[in-house]
Amino acid sequence: MRHAIRAAALAFLALAASGCWDQQLLKDERNISIGGIDTASKGLIRATVSIRDILVSESGSKDTSEVHSVVARSTDHARELLDDEVSGQYSSAKMRVLVLGEEMVRSRDIMPYLDVYYRDPRSPLNARVAIAQGKAEDIIRLKMVGPKTIGLHIDNLLKSMELQSQVPSVTIQTLHPLDRGFDFSLPYLKLTDGMPKVEGIALFNGVHMTGKLNLDRSKIYLLLAGEKNKNLRITLKIQNDDKDEGYDYTTIDVLKARRKLKIHVDKEGRPRVALNVRLRVSVIEDPSNHLYKKEVLHKLEKTLSERLTNEADSVVATMQEARHDGFGIARRIMSFYPNLWRKLDWKEVYPSIPFDVGVTLDVINTGIIR
Amino acid sequence: MIKNKERITPGQLMILIVQTQIGVGVLFLPSTVEAKAYNDAWIAVILGGGASAALLLAIWALGRRFPGMVFFDFLPLLMGKPLGKIVHTIYAVMFIAECGVILAQFGDVVRDWIFSSTPSWMILGLMLAVSVYMAVENLRFITRFFVLTFILIFVLILIALYAYREAEWLYALPIGNAGFLNILKGSALSMNSFYGFEILLFAFPFVQGSSRSVLKAGMYANLFSTVVYAFLVFTCVLVFTPLELRLIPQPILYMVKALSFTVFERADLYFLAIWTVVVLTTVMAYLYMAAKSVSSLFGKSRHAGTVPVVAAMIWILAIYPHDQDMIDWMQRIVSALTTLTLVVLPTLLLVISYIRKIERKEQVQKG
């Protein structure tokens, strides 16, 4: 009897204690995989989302994508309107990519539209962020690329680009640009012949996009920023052969990159940046040289490092022109020269800070031939 | 007399103190201290740990002079009967209020992060029900449970370690930027998280071994908590800029939220699940102390019957505040109470004890 009462009490507790106030069933939820924000007239925004669905039939399962687009006052207002449009409970918890239209980031402050992502505990803070040339809506409207839904496709695309150190890896969380002392840059997507492609990176000054770099130069940018990921390959033109252009190019694979960033302040309180990158590379492709001779190898090293230094100089010039402080020079001055920082008018000073950039490199292997 | 089966070892005492100290503060500490001490918050926390070591020393010195006696047994000897009763009541109120505030903060975090629509009376009721189950037992049972769950603190550290992937060492520089005064203000704020060492007031006579070993256990416990706190605060300083930390009340959760492992996402939920147990141990300890002080106030030797009554009071106190202002207001009152009972009074009592040479003469037993 005693046991029966105990068991009954336990069963009651188990039922009562596991309340259903907060249950959210997956079968009722419609998860979006990619979202886009564009400008609309009168200060409104156009939000576009793609919802991923899986159709299960006798021949197996198939991914489908459903696109909705609304004009709204704010991001959460857009959620509300979208929820009215889609069947089931709208949820952005599993969003993988957030695409922002170029006009949006050039003309408006995007931070108000991201606020809800930082505030909501279920928000996808680790979603990747990218910029779309033209409108984000156009990319999301593609629905499918090959067998994959657009959300999955863009996410995988960005991920592999990150691994090859072609674009920086940025999520909504790491975007939060409060007082960090450096500016962020984002992958720049472009629609070419119905295919979304990463064109390069968009450079930001604060919350506004102010410039861009193409893919070749974004690799140099990441090298200089000390953000080399798993792989990084660069193809450079090292000579000018009039007869046969095939011999002009050399491809190197960067195995190891060591970056040194130092800030020197002279007596008048003018900062000067010394940025040195030392690379250990392996030669992947080099049709013109046969590297069994030491002198030829050293000459190649010299040419390559000159080329890279030139490229680096021009990347830095572009950055300064865009007033984009991607290397965190401001943060370093805040940390190492707090007194100087209080006196500096950073927005004025940054574009004219002299950079001494140097790239040196060692070839450590050349494949299975020399 | 203290029965043999209620005794605990110095090692168990150490874990008892650590588990009582480390609680809700883990989540709130970084941003509260940072609000005053900026990127030197971790220095402030270390200073706070030093201050709490001094207070622990005072409590130990007091307990040493009255071997075999619990705090409330020798309180009337030092202050006289009527005054002793008043001070005793203040202590009882402090334990109940502190426990209420801990639970109110806990309820807030759970509402904000996981269960947004589950009413807090339910969650806090469940927490207290489990705590009552444990707190009616004697100190040895409670300590054993604390030892069992001690390992979870290391799991929390492990999860937090992963945040170093996004750490930016430059945020910690320049060291000493906040200025000495602000660092001191910060460490005053951090003291709230170090409270819990007062469990020594109750545990002292139960510990086997010399009073030296008690002191050693207490100091190691305090050192452990200080290191854990300083590590977590330092991690937050490296991950967030000062401005961001001001906006984020629970930065540790926030930084682990975005971590995504191959198999699972939302590391903050794992962190919270473990943290709940860490808070639970603190609630148990405070419930035990509150029940002990209330029952001895009414001259009862057993505290088991008092526990549910005290728990009900704590429950009402914890579900009463419904916005941040009220929690802040409660916290201010509790801070005043804890400062009085844990900083001013122990020092005062120690001074009285030394000046009037009051101590328990006969040694009950040694070793």
- Domain range list for chain B: 4-355
Closest CA relative to residue B339, chosen from B207, B197, B192: B192
Q: What sections of chain B are H helices per DSSP?
A: 10-21, 25-37, 41-64, 71-79, 81-113, 120-135, 139-149, 151-161, 180-194, 199-203, 211-239, 242-247, 251-257, 267-297, 306-319, 324-338, 345-355
Nearest CB partner across the interface for A179, out of B170, B243, B260: B243
Q: CA–CA separation, A145 vs A142, rounded Å? A: 7
Name every chain B residue with its beta carbon within 8 A of the beta carbon of A173. 257-258
Range in A99-113, A352-366, B185-199, B235-249 the model is least confident about: B235-249
ipTM: 0.81
Residue matched to tokens 């000073």: A349
Query: What is this structure's pTM?
Result: 0.87
| pLDDT (0 to 100) of residue A86 | 87
**Cis amide bond preceding B174, omega within 30:** yes
| pLDDT (0 to 100) of residue A17 | 64
Closest CA relative to residue A158, chosen from A192, A122, A200, A120: A200
Nearest CB partner across the interface for B113, out of A19, A121, A328: A121
Report, at the CATH architecture level, how domain B4-355 is classified. Answer: Up-down Bundle (1.20)
**Mutation test of the interface with chain A: which of B168, B170, B171, B269, choosing the one with the most A Cβ atoms within 10 A?**
B170
Q: Can you give the pLDDT of all 367 residues of chain B as single tens digits? A: 567 788 899 999 999 999 999 988 888 888 888 888 888 889 999 999 999 999 999 999 888 888 888 888 888 888 888 888 999 999 999 999 999 999 999 998 998 888 888 888 888 998 999 999 989 988 899 999 999 999 999 998 988 888 887 788 888 877 877 788 888 898 888 888 899 898 998 888 888 888 889 999 999 999 999 999 999 999 988 888 878 888 888 888 888 887 777 677 778 888 899 999 999 999 999 999 999 999 988 888 888 889 999 999 999 999 888 788 888 888 889 989 998 888 888 888 888 888 887 777 555 444 3
Q: Residue A281: which H helix or E strand, with range? A: strand A271-285
Q: Is B258's CB within 8 Å of A17's CB?
A: no
Closest CA relative to residue A266, chosen from A346, A326, A191, A354: A354
| pLDDT (0 to 100) of residue B144 | 93
Nearest CB partner across the interface for A174, out of B114, B115, B166: B166
Q: What are phi and psi of A197, to 5 degrees?
A: -135, 150
Sign of the dihedral defined by the CA atoms of residues A242, A243, A244, A250, in that order:
negative
Q: Is B257's CB within 8 Å of A125's CB?
A: yes
Q: CA–CA separation, A171 vs A96, rounded Å? A: 9
Q: Is A171's CB within 8 Å of B258's CB?
A: yes
- List the 210-269 stretch of A: residues with Cβ below 8 A of B: none
Q: How far is CA A43 from CA A74, A115, A205, in A?
A: 10, 17, 22
| pLDDT (0 to 100) of residue A343 | 84
Closest CA relative to residue A204, chosen from A220, A188, A193: A188
Sign of the dihedral defined by the CA atoms of residues A73, A75, A77, A79, in that order:
positive
DSSP character at residue A364: E
Q: CA–CA separation, A38 vs A101, rounded Å? A: 5
Alpha-carbon distance A340 to nearest alpha carbon in chain B (angstroms):
12
Largest CA distance in chain A: 101
**Mutation test of the interface with chain B: which of A172, A178, A262, A339, choosing the one with the most B Cβ atoms within 10 A?**
A178
Q: Would an 8 Å CB–CB cutoff place A336 in contact with chain B?
A: yes
